[in-house]
Structure 1
Amino acid sequence: MTSTPVALITGASRGIGRAIADDLAATHHLLLGGRDRTALTELASSYPSAEPFVAELRDAGQVAAAVSGIDRLDVLIHSAGILRMGPVAELTDDAWRESFEVNLFAVAALTRALLPVLRAAGGQVVTINSGSGYTSGASSAIYSGTKFALRAFTDALREEERQHGVRVSSIHPGRVATDMQEELHAWEGKEYSAEAWIQPDQVAKAVRLAVDTTRESAIETLSIRPSGISLR
Protein backbone atom coordinates (compact mmCIF):
# COMPACT_ATOMS: atom_id res chain seq x y z
CA MET A 1 0.00 0.00 0.00
CA THR A 2 1.24 3.48 -0.87
CA SER A 3 2.45 5.93 1.79
CA THR A 4 -0.12 8.39 0.42
CA PRO A 5 -3.13 8.88 2.76
CA VAL A 6 -5.92 6.43 1.95
CA ALA A 7 -9.57 7.42 1.60
CA LEU A 8 -12.52 5.06 1.13
CA ILE A 9 -15.56 6.71 -0.46
CA THR A 10 -18.84 4.82 -0.67
CA GLY A 11 -21.15 5.74 -3.53
CA ALA A 12 -18.08 6.96 -5.42
CA SER A 13 -19.32 6.44 -8.96
CA ARG A 14 -21.92 9.21 -9.09
CA GLY A 15 -23.17 12.46 -7.61
CA ILE A 16 -21.61 13.70 -4.40
CA GLY A 17 -19.39 10.64 -4.00
CA ARG A 18 -17.89 11.16 -7.45
CA ALA A 19 -17.27 14.84 -6.72
CA ILE A 20 -15.50 13.91 -3.47
CA ALA A 21 -13.34 11.40 -5.35
CA ASP A 22 -12.45 14.06 -7.93
CA ASP A 23 -11.39 16.45 -5.16
CA LEU A 24 -9.39 14.01 -3.04
CA ALA A 25 -7.65 12.29 -5.96
CA ALA A 26 -4.75 14.74 -5.95
CA THR A 27 -3.78 13.97 -2.36
CA HIS A 28 -5.11 10.50 -1.51
CA HIS A 29 -5.06 6.92 -2.67
CA LEU A 30 -8.74 6.26 -3.31
CA LEU A 31 -10.80 3.18 -2.55
CA LEU A 32 -13.84 3.70 -4.74
CA GLY A 33 -16.92 2.11 -3.19
CA GLY A 34 -19.80 0.72 -5.19
CA ARG A 35 -21.33 -2.44 -6.66
CA ASP A 36 -20.33 -2.26 -10.34
CA ARG A 37 -16.74 -3.52 -10.62
CA THR A 38 -16.43 -2.63 -14.29
CA ALA A 39 -17.56 0.97 -13.77
CA LEU A 40 -15.38 1.39 -10.68
CA THR A 41 -12.32 -0.05 -12.43
CA GLU A 42 -12.81 2.38 -15.31
CA LEU A 43 -13.23 5.27 -12.87
CA ALA A 44 -10.13 4.23 -10.91
CA SER A 45 -8.06 4.37 -14.09
CA SER A 46 -8.86 8.08 -14.41
CA TYR A 47 -7.21 8.95 -11.09
CA PRO A 48 -3.51 9.05 -10.14
CA SER A 49 -3.93 6.36 -7.47
CA ALA A 50 -7.18 4.46 -6.99
CA GLU A 51 -8.75 1.03 -6.90
CA PRO A 52 -12.28 -0.38 -6.65
CA PHE A 53 -13.90 -1.30 -3.35
CA VAL A 54 -16.69 -3.54 -4.56
CA ALA A 55 -19.42 -4.61 -2.14
CA GLU A 56 -23.16 -4.57 -1.62
CA LEU A 57 -23.03 -2.75 1.70
CA ARG A 58 -26.08 -4.59 3.03
CA ASP A 59 -24.33 -7.93 2.57
CA ALA A 60 -22.15 -8.73 5.60
CA GLY A 61 -20.15 -11.34 3.69
CA GLN A 62 -19.31 -8.99 0.83
CA VAL A 63 -18.32 -6.23 3.25
CA ALA A 64 -16.09 -8.58 5.25
CA ALA A 65 -14.36 -9.75 2.07
CA ALA A 66 -13.89 -6.19 0.80
CA VAL A 67 -12.40 -4.82 4.03
CA SER A 68 -10.12 -7.81 4.64
CA GLY A 69 -7.38 -6.39 2.43
CA ILE A 70 -7.36 -2.91 3.97
CA ASP A 71 -4.40 -2.50 6.30
CA ARG A 72 -4.44 1.30 6.36
CA LEU A 73 -7.24 3.84 6.21
CA ASP A 74 -7.02 7.55 6.92
CA VAL A 75 -10.49 8.67 5.87
CA LEU A 76 -13.80 6.81 5.61
CA ILE A 77 -16.44 8.80 3.74
CA HIS A 78 -20.01 7.54 3.74
CA SER A 79 -21.68 8.99 0.65
CA ALA A 80 -23.84 6.07 -0.53
CA GLY A 81 -27.52 6.43 0.22
CA ILE A 82 -31.05 6.20 -1.12
CA LEU A 83 -33.98 8.59 -1.10
CA ARG A 84 -37.51 7.34 -0.49
CA MET A 85 -40.42 9.74 -0.12
CA GLY A 86 -44.12 9.37 0.52
CA PRO A 87 -46.90 9.81 3.07
CA VAL A 88 -46.62 7.63 6.16
CA ALA A 89 -49.99 6.08 5.31
CA GLU A 90 -48.59 4.76 2.02
CA LEU A 91 -45.05 3.68 2.93
CA THR A 92 -44.53 -0.07 2.99
CA ASP A 93 -42.56 -2.02 5.57
CA ASP A 94 -40.07 -2.95 2.86
CA ALA A 95 -39.48 0.72 2.02
CA TRP A 96 -38.74 1.50 5.67
CA ARG A 97 -36.40 -1.48 6.00
CA GLU A 98 -34.49 -0.76 2.81
CA SER A 99 -34.00 2.90 3.68
CA PHE A 100 -32.67 2.18 7.15
CA GLU A 101 -30.53 -0.70 5.90
CA VAL A 102 -28.77 1.50 3.33
CA ASN A 103 -28.70 4.88 5.08
CA LEU A 104 -27.92 3.71 8.62
CA PHE A 105 -27.28 0.01 9.21
CA ALA A 106 -24.74 -0.29 6.37
CA VAL A 107 -22.96 2.84 7.60
CA ALA A 108 -22.73 1.43 11.12
CA ALA A 109 -21.52 -1.98 9.93
CA LEU A 110 -18.82 -0.65 7.61
CA THR A 111 -17.61 1.80 10.23
CA ARG A 112 -17.40 -0.92 12.85
CA ALA A 113 -15.43 -3.16 10.49
CA LEU A 114 -12.91 -0.42 9.75
CA LEU A 115 -12.48 1.15 13.19
CA PRO A 116 -9.30 -0.83 13.97
CA VAL A 117 -7.42 0.57 10.95
CA LEU A 118 -8.92 4.04 11.44
CA ARG A 119 -7.74 4.06 15.06
CA ALA A 120 -4.27 2.90 14.01
CA ALA A 121 -4.04 5.78 11.53
CA GLY A 122 -5.63 8.42 13.76
CA GLY A 123 -8.16 8.68 10.97
CA GLN A 124 -11.49 10.31 10.25
CA VAL A 125 -15.06 9.29 9.55
CA VAL A 126 -17.11 11.67 7.40
CA THR A 127 -20.81 11.10 6.83
CA ILE A 128 -22.77 12.84 4.11
CA ASN A 129 -26.01 13.49 5.96
CA SER A 130 -28.63 16.02 4.82
CA GLY A 131 -30.61 19.04 5.84
CA SER A 132 -33.25 16.37 6.46
CA GLY A 133 -31.09 15.23 9.35
CA TYR A 134 -32.35 18.32 11.20
CA THR A 135 -35.90 18.87 9.95
CA SER A 136 -38.74 16.81 8.54
CA GLY A 137 -41.93 17.54 6.70
CA ALA A 138 -44.79 16.02 4.76
CA SER A 139 -43.75 12.92 2.80
CA SER A 140 -40.22 12.97 4.23
CA ALA A 141 -40.71 10.80 7.32
CA ILE A 142 -38.79 7.84 5.95
CA TYR A 143 -35.81 9.78 4.56
CA SER A 144 -35.60 12.21 7.47
CA GLY A 145 -35.95 9.31 9.86
CA THR A 146 -32.82 7.68 8.47
CA LYS A 147 -30.92 10.97 8.51
CA PHE A 148 -31.97 11.88 12.06
CA ALA A 149 -30.75 8.43 13.07
CA LEU A 150 -27.51 8.91 11.14
CA ARG A 151 -26.91 12.16 13.02
CA ALA A 152 -27.46 10.35 16.33
CA PHE A 153 -25.01 7.68 15.20
CA THR A 154 -22.28 10.18 14.31
CA ASP A 155 -22.82 12.18 17.50
CA ALA A 156 -22.34 9.04 19.59
CA LEU A 157 -19.42 7.77 17.50
CA ARG A 158 -17.66 11.12 17.81
CA GLU A 159 -17.75 11.00 21.60
CA GLU A 160 -16.73 7.34 21.76
CA GLU A 161 -13.80 7.67 19.40
CA ARG A 162 -12.15 10.77 20.84
CA GLN A 163 -10.16 8.57 23.20
CA HIS A 164 -8.96 6.53 20.22
CA GLY A 165 -7.90 9.55 18.16
CA VAL A 166 -10.57 9.19 15.46
CA ARG A 167 -12.39 12.36 14.41
CA VAL A 168 -15.98 12.26 13.14
CA SER A 169 -17.56 14.84 10.83
CA SER A 170 -21.19 15.13 9.77
CA ILE A 171 -21.83 17.14 6.59
CA HIS A 172 -25.42 18.32 6.04
CA PRO A 173 -26.08 19.60 2.51
CA GLY A 174 -29.44 20.86 1.41
CA ARG A 175 -30.69 19.96 -2.03
CA VAL A 176 -27.78 19.09 -4.32
CA ALA A 177 -27.84 19.03 -8.13
CA THR A 178 -27.56 15.27 -8.69
CA ASP A 179 -29.61 12.69 -10.57
CA MET A 180 -31.30 11.91 -7.26
CA GLN A 181 -32.46 15.52 -7.07
CA GLU A 182 -33.80 15.35 -10.61
CA GLU A 183 -35.76 12.21 -9.70
CA LEU A 184 -37.13 13.95 -6.60
CA HIS A 185 -38.34 16.91 -8.61
CA ALA A 186 -40.05 14.53 -11.05
CA TRP A 187 -41.77 12.82 -8.12
CA GLU A 188 -42.88 16.22 -6.79
CA GLY A 189 -44.09 17.26 -10.24
CA LYS A 190 -41.79 20.28 -10.28
CA GLU A 191 -39.53 21.70 -12.97
CA TYR A 192 -35.89 20.87 -12.31
CA SER A 193 -33.10 23.40 -12.86
CA ALA A 194 -29.71 22.07 -11.79
CA GLU A 195 -28.12 25.51 -11.47
CA ALA A 196 -30.63 26.47 -8.76
CA TRP A 197 -29.24 23.93 -6.31
CA ILE A 198 -25.98 23.22 -4.50
CA GLN A 199 -23.37 21.80 -6.85
CA PRO A 200 -21.73 18.49 -5.87
CA ASP A 201 -18.26 20.03 -5.95
CA GLN A 202 -19.30 22.43 -3.19
CA VAL A 203 -20.11 19.48 -0.93
CA ALA A 204 -16.76 17.99 -1.90
CA LYS A 205 -15.07 21.21 -0.77
CA ALA A 206 -16.79 20.89 2.60
CA VAL A 207 -15.44 17.35 2.89
CA ARG A 208 -12.01 18.63 1.91
CA LEU A 209 -12.21 21.21 4.70
CA ALA A 210 -12.96 18.46 7.22
CA VAL A 211 -10.21 16.21 5.87
CA ASP A 212 -7.57 18.96 5.85
CA THR A 213 -8.33 20.21 9.35
CA THR A 214 -5.24 19.61 11.47
CA ARG A 215 -5.20 17.25 14.43
CA GLU A 216 -5.85 19.82 17.17
CA SER A 217 -9.25 20.66 15.71
CA ALA A 218 -12.19 19.05 13.93
CA ILE A 219 -15.12 19.97 11.73
CA GLU A 220 -17.80 18.19 13.76
CA THR A 221 -20.92 19.33 11.92
CA LEU A 222 -21.28 21.52 8.85
CA SER A 223 -24.52 22.63 7.20
CA ILE A 224 -24.64 23.78 3.57
CA ARG A 225 -27.83 25.38 2.34
CA PRO A 226 -28.97 26.64 -1.09
CA SER A 227 -28.61 30.42 -1.10
CA GLY A 228 -31.92 30.98 -2.86
CA ILE A 229 -30.23 33.58 -5.04
CA SER A 230 -31.39 33.46 -8.66
CA LEU A 231 -28.50 32.85 -11.05
CA ARG A 232 -30.48 33.74 -14.15
Structure 2
Amino acid sequence: MTDPRPVALVTGATGGMGEEIVRDLARTHDVIAVGRRASSLEALGRIDGVTTWTLELTDTAAFAPLVETLHRLDVLVHGAAIADPGRVDEASAEQWTTQLTTNVVAPAVLTGLVLPLLRASAGTVVFIGSGAGTRPVPGNVVYSASKHALRAVADVLRIDEEASRIRVVTVAPGQTDTAMQRQLVDYAGGEYERERYITPASVAEVVRFVVDAPADVQLTDIAVRPRVEIRRL
Protein backbone atom coordinates (compact mmCIF):
# COMPACT_ATOMS: atom_id res chain seq x y z
CA MET A 1 0.00 0.00 0.00
CA THR A 2 1.45 3.35 -1.00
CA ASP A 3 1.45 6.29 1.36
CA PRO A 4 -1.05 9.06 0.55
CA ARG A 5 0.38 12.08 -1.15
CA PRO A 6 1.26 15.03 1.07
CA VAL A 7 -1.18 17.94 1.03
CA ALA A 8 -0.35 21.57 0.23
CA LEU A 9 -2.55 24.66 0.50
CA VAL A 10 -1.67 27.69 -1.63
CA THR A 11 -3.36 31.07 -1.36
CA GLY A 12 -3.23 33.59 -4.16
CA ALA A 13 -3.45 30.64 -6.55
CA THR A 14 -4.61 32.67 -9.54
CA GLY A 15 -1.83 35.25 -9.31
CA GLY A 16 1.28 34.90 -11.40
CA MET A 17 3.42 33.34 -8.68
CA GLY A 18 0.60 31.44 -6.99
CA GLU A 19 -0.47 29.66 -10.16
CA GLU A 20 3.07 28.51 -10.90
CA ILE A 21 3.49 27.30 -7.32
CA VAL A 22 0.27 25.28 -7.55
CA ARG A 23 1.28 23.71 -10.86
CA ASP A 24 4.72 22.76 -9.56
CA LEU A 25 3.57 21.34 -6.22
CA ALA A 26 0.81 19.33 -7.91
CA ARG A 27 3.51 17.06 -9.34
CA THR A 28 4.06 15.59 -5.87
CA HIS A 29 1.27 16.90 -3.63
CA ASP A 30 -2.49 17.07 -3.48
CA VAL A 31 -2.96 20.83 -3.68
CA ILE A 32 -5.76 23.07 -2.45
CA ALA A 33 -5.67 26.20 -4.63
CA VAL A 34 -7.27 29.20 -2.96
CA GLY A 35 -8.43 32.28 -4.87
CA ARG A 36 -11.09 34.95 -4.92
CA ARG A 37 -12.83 34.09 -8.20
CA ALA A 38 -14.17 30.67 -9.09
CA SER A 39 -13.87 31.39 -12.82
CA SER A 40 -10.16 32.08 -12.43
CA LEU A 41 -9.64 28.80 -10.58
CA GLU A 42 -11.28 26.61 -13.23
CA ALA A 43 -8.10 25.80 -15.14
CA LEU A 44 -6.21 24.86 -11.99
CA GLY A 45 -9.09 22.66 -10.88
CA ARG A 46 -8.60 20.52 -13.98
CA ILE A 47 -5.09 19.52 -12.90
CA ASP A 48 -4.87 16.07 -11.34
CA GLY A 49 -4.69 16.36 -7.56
CA VAL A 50 -5.80 20.00 -7.40
CA THR A 51 -8.97 21.10 -5.65
CA THR A 52 -10.06 24.70 -5.38
CA TRP A 53 -11.47 26.94 -2.69
CA THR A 54 -13.13 30.20 -3.68
CA LEU A 55 -12.37 32.49 -0.78
CA GLU A 56 -12.06 36.20 -0.17
CA LEU A 57 -9.20 36.52 2.30
CA THR A 58 -10.63 39.64 3.92
CA ASP A 59 -13.51 37.40 5.10
CA THR A 60 -11.50 35.68 7.82
CA ALA A 61 -14.68 34.30 9.41
CA ALA A 62 -15.05 32.01 6.39
CA PHE A 63 -11.75 30.24 7.07
CA ALA A 64 -12.78 27.94 9.92
CA PRO A 65 -15.52 25.93 8.11
CA LEU A 66 -13.14 25.19 5.24
CA VAL A 67 -10.24 24.29 7.52
CA GLU A 68 -12.51 21.82 9.34
CA THR A 69 -12.72 19.78 6.12
CA LEU A 70 -8.97 19.15 6.15
CA HIS A 71 -7.57 15.95 7.61
CA ARG A 72 -3.93 16.54 6.73
CA LEU A 73 -1.68 19.44 5.78
CA ASP A 74 2.04 19.29 5.02
CA VAL A 75 2.71 22.57 3.22
CA LEU A 76 1.10 25.98 3.55
CA VAL A 77 2.08 28.69 1.05
CA HIS A 78 0.83 32.22 1.60
CA GLY A 79 1.01 33.64 -1.90
CA ALA A 80 -1.90 36.08 -1.85
CA ALA A 81 -1.13 39.78 -1.67
CA ILE A 82 -2.45 43.05 -2.98
CA ALA A 83 -0.64 46.32 -3.56
CA ASP A 84 -2.35 49.66 -4.03
CA PRO A 85 0.49 52.15 -4.49
CA GLY A 86 0.51 55.48 -2.74
CA ARG A 87 2.47 57.74 -0.43
CA VAL A 88 1.64 58.36 3.22
CA ASP A 89 -0.38 61.45 2.34
CA GLU A 90 -2.27 59.57 -0.40
CA ALA A 91 -3.18 56.29 1.32
CA SER A 92 -6.69 56.16 2.76
CA ALA A 93 -7.80 54.34 5.88
CA GLU A 94 -9.63 51.88 3.64
CA GLN A 95 -6.45 51.12 1.71
CA TRP A 96 -4.59 50.49 4.95
CA THR A 97 -7.31 48.20 6.27
CA THR A 98 -7.78 46.19 3.08
CA GLN A 99 -4.11 45.64 2.33
CA LEU A 100 -3.11 44.83 5.90
CA THR A 101 -6.04 42.41 6.24
CA THR A 102 -5.19 40.61 3.00
CA ASN A 103 -1.41 40.68 3.33
CA VAL A 104 -0.95 40.16 7.08
CA VAL A 105 -4.08 39.40 9.10
CA ALA A 106 -5.44 36.71 6.79
CA PRO A 107 -2.17 34.71 6.61
CA ALA A 108 -1.80 34.91 10.38
CA VAL A 109 -5.38 33.80 11.07
CA LEU A 110 -5.29 30.98 8.53
CA THR A 111 -1.97 29.73 9.88
CA GLY A 112 -3.36 29.69 13.41
CA LEU A 113 -6.32 27.60 12.32
CA VAL A 114 -4.23 24.94 10.55
CA LEU A 115 -1.44 24.74 13.15
CA PRO A 116 -2.70 21.44 14.64
CA LEU A 117 -2.38 19.79 11.22
CA LEU A 118 1.04 21.32 10.57
CA ARG A 119 2.26 20.19 13.98
CA ALA A 120 1.10 16.64 13.24
CA SER A 121 3.05 16.59 9.96
CA ALA A 122 6.02 18.71 11.10
CA GLY A 123 5.05 20.72 8.06
CA THR A 124 6.40 23.72 6.19
CA VAL A 125 4.95 27.23 6.06
CA VAL A 126 6.11 29.50 3.24
CA PHE A 127 5.33 33.20 3.39
CA ILE A 128 5.82 34.90 0.04
CA GLY A 129 7.37 38.14 1.17
CA SER A 130 9.03 40.83 -0.88
CA GLY A 131 12.10 42.93 -1.17
CA ALA A 132 9.73 45.56 0.23
CA GLY A 133 9.82 43.66 3.51
CA THR A 134 13.42 44.70 4.17
CA ARG A 135 13.94 47.90 2.20
CA PRO A 136 11.78 50.99 1.59
CA VAL A 137 9.85 51.28 -1.66
CA PRO A 138 9.09 54.89 -2.58
CA GLY A 139 5.43 55.57 -3.22
CA ASN A 140 4.28 52.22 -1.83
CA VAL A 141 3.92 52.78 1.88
CA VAL A 142 1.04 50.41 2.69
CA TYR A 143 2.42 47.43 0.82
CA SER A 144 5.88 47.97 2.29
CA ALA A 145 4.46 48.15 5.80
CA SER A 146 2.45 44.97 5.23
CA LYS A 147 5.47 43.01 4.02
CA HIS A 148 7.56 44.17 6.97
CA ALA A 149 4.74 42.98 9.24
CA LEU A 150 4.40 39.65 7.44
CA ARG A 151 8.07 38.94 7.97
CA ALA A 152 7.58 39.59 11.68
CA VAL A 153 4.71 37.09 11.74
CA ALA A 154 6.96 34.48 10.14
CA ASP A 155 9.86 35.14 12.50
CA VAL A 156 7.72 34.88 15.63
CA LEU A 157 5.90 31.79 14.34
CA ARG A 158 9.23 30.06 13.72
CA ILE A 159 10.31 30.63 17.31
CA ASP A 160 6.95 29.75 18.84
CA GLU A 161 6.68 26.49 16.88
CA GLU A 162 10.28 25.34 17.20
CA ALA A 163 9.30 22.47 19.47
CA SER A 164 6.79 21.30 16.86
CA ARG A 165 9.51 21.18 14.19
CA ILE A 166 7.39 23.28 11.83
CA ARG A 167 9.61 24.93 9.25
CA VAL A 168 8.82 28.58 8.57
CA VAL A 169 10.45 30.46 5.72
CA THR A 170 10.03 33.83 4.09
CA VAL A 171 10.71 33.68 0.37
CA ALA A 172 11.15 37.29 -0.69
CA PRO A 173 11.16 37.86 -4.46
CA GLY A 174 12.39 41.09 -5.91
CA GLN A 175 10.75 42.57 -8.98
CA THR A 176 8.80 39.75 -10.63
CA ASP A 177 6.86 39.69 -13.90
CA THR A 178 3.33 39.91 -12.50
CA ALA A 179 0.26 42.12 -12.85
CA MET A 180 1.19 43.71 -9.53
CA GLN A 181 4.63 44.68 -10.82
CA ARG A 182 3.09 46.22 -13.92
CA GLN A 183 0.73 48.25 -11.72
CA LEU A 184 3.61 49.55 -9.62
CA VAL A 185 5.69 50.51 -12.66
CA ASP A 186 2.70 52.27 -14.22
CA TYR A 187 2.14 54.22 -10.99
CA ALA A 188 5.78 55.33 -10.98
CA GLY A 189 5.53 56.37 -14.64
CA GLY A 190 8.23 53.93 -15.69
CA GLU A 191 8.63 51.64 -18.67
CA TYR A 192 7.76 47.99 -18.12
CA GLU A 193 10.73 45.89 -19.21
CA ARG A 194 9.53 42.34 -18.77
CA GLU A 195 12.87 40.74 -19.56
CA ARG A 196 14.47 42.43 -16.53
CA TYR A 197 12.17 40.78 -14.02
CA ILE A 198 12.14 37.40 -12.30
CA THR A 199 9.68 34.93 -13.82
CA PRO A 200 6.92 33.52 -11.59
CA ALA A 201 8.12 30.01 -12.51
CA SER A 202 11.50 30.80 -10.98
CA VAL A 203 9.82 31.74 -7.70
CA ALA A 204 7.93 28.45 -7.81
CA GLU A 205 11.25 26.62 -8.17
CA VAL A 206 12.54 28.34 -5.04
CA VAL A 207 9.41 27.27 -3.14
CA ARG A 208 10.04 23.72 -4.37
CA PHE A 209 13.60 23.95 -3.04
CA VAL A 210 12.20 24.92 0.36
CA VAL A 211 9.61 22.14 0.40
CA ASP A 212 12.17 19.51 -0.62
CA ALA A 213 14.88 20.67 1.78
CA PRO A 214 16.37 17.96 4.02
CA ALA A 215 14.37 17.28 7.15
CA ASP A 216 17.21 18.30 9.46
CA VAL A 217 17.47 21.90 8.25
CA GLN A 218 15.50 25.04 8.93
CA LEU A 219 15.48 27.60 6.14
CA THR A 220 14.48 31.05 7.31
CA ASP A 221 14.85 33.91 4.80
CA ILE A 222 15.48 33.52 1.09
CA ALA A 223 15.89 36.65 -1.00
CA VAL A 224 15.23 36.06 -4.70
CA ARG A 225 16.66 38.96 -6.69
CA PRO A 226 16.86 39.69 -10.43
CA ARG A 227 20.16 38.53 -11.91
CA VAL A 228 20.92 42.14 -12.83
CA GLU A 229 19.78 44.16 -9.85
CA ILE A 230 17.08 46.78 -10.37
CA ARG A 231 17.20 49.83 -8.14
CA ARG A 232 14.23 51.46 -6.50
CA LEU A 233 11.39 50.55 -8.84
Normalised TM-score (structure 2) = 0.93
Distance in 2 separating the partners of 1:61 and 1:200: 30
Report if the CA contact (8 A) 1:104-1:149 is conserved.
yes
Shift of 1:42: 3.3
SS, match of residue 156 in structure 1? helix
SS, match of residue 89 in structure 2? helix
Aligned to 1:44: 45
The runs of 5 or more residues in structure 1 that have no matched partner are none
Q: After the TM superposition, which segments of 4 or more aligned residues of structure 1 sit over 4 Å from their partners?
A: none
Residue identity matched to 2:34: G
Distance in 1 separating the partners of 2:69 and 2:8: 14
Residue identity matched to 1:42: A
Distance in 2 separating the partners of 1:40 and 1:138: 33
Aligned residues: 228
Distance in 2 separating the partners of 1:130 and 1:56: 22
Report if the CA contact (8 A) 2:15-2:80 is conserved.
no
- Deviation string for 1:168-219 (max 9, x for gaps)? 0100110100111112111111111211101111111110111001210022
Alignment of 1:104 with 2:104, yes or no, is: yes
Shift of 1:229: 7.3
Residue identity matched to 1:185: V
Report if the CA contact (8 A) 1:176-1:199 is conserved.
yes
Report if the CA contact (8 A) 1:41-1:51 is conserved.
no
Residue identity matched to 1:190: G
Shift of 1:16: 0.4
Distance in 2 separating the partners of 1:130 and 1:228: 17
SS, match of residue 207 in structure 1? helix
Aligned to 2:4: 3
Larger mean CA deviation between 84-93 and 99-108 belongs to: 84-93
Residue identity matched to 1:92: S
SS, match of residue 88 in structure 1? coil
Shift of 1:38: 3.6
Distance in 2 separating the partners of 1:67 and 1:37: 18
Distance in 2 separating the partners of 1:90 and 1:117: 41
Report if the CA contact (8 A) 1:7-1:77 is conserved.
yes
Aligned to 1:13: 14
Aligned positions of 1:1-232 closer than 5 A: 3-45=4-46, 47-228=47-228
Residue identity matched to 2:139: S
- Deviation string for 1:7-64 (max 9, x for gaps)? 100011121001111211111111000122243243221x221101222122133211
- Deviation string for 1:75-118 (max 9, x for gaps)? 00000000122111111111111111010000101000110111
CA RMSD of aligned residues (A): 1.5
Report if the CA contact (8 A) 1:76-1:125 is conserved.
yes
Distance in 2 separating the partners of 1:31 and 1:196: 31
Larger mean CA deviation between 59-68 and 9-18 belongs to: 59-68
Normalised TM-score (structure 1) = 0.94
Report if the CA contact (8 A) 2:58-2:98 is conserved.
no
Report if the CA contact (8 A) 1:55-1:66 is conserved.
no
Do the aligned partners of residues 160 and 229 (structure 1) sit closer, same or farther apart at CA in structure 2, a change above 3 Å counting?
Answer: closer
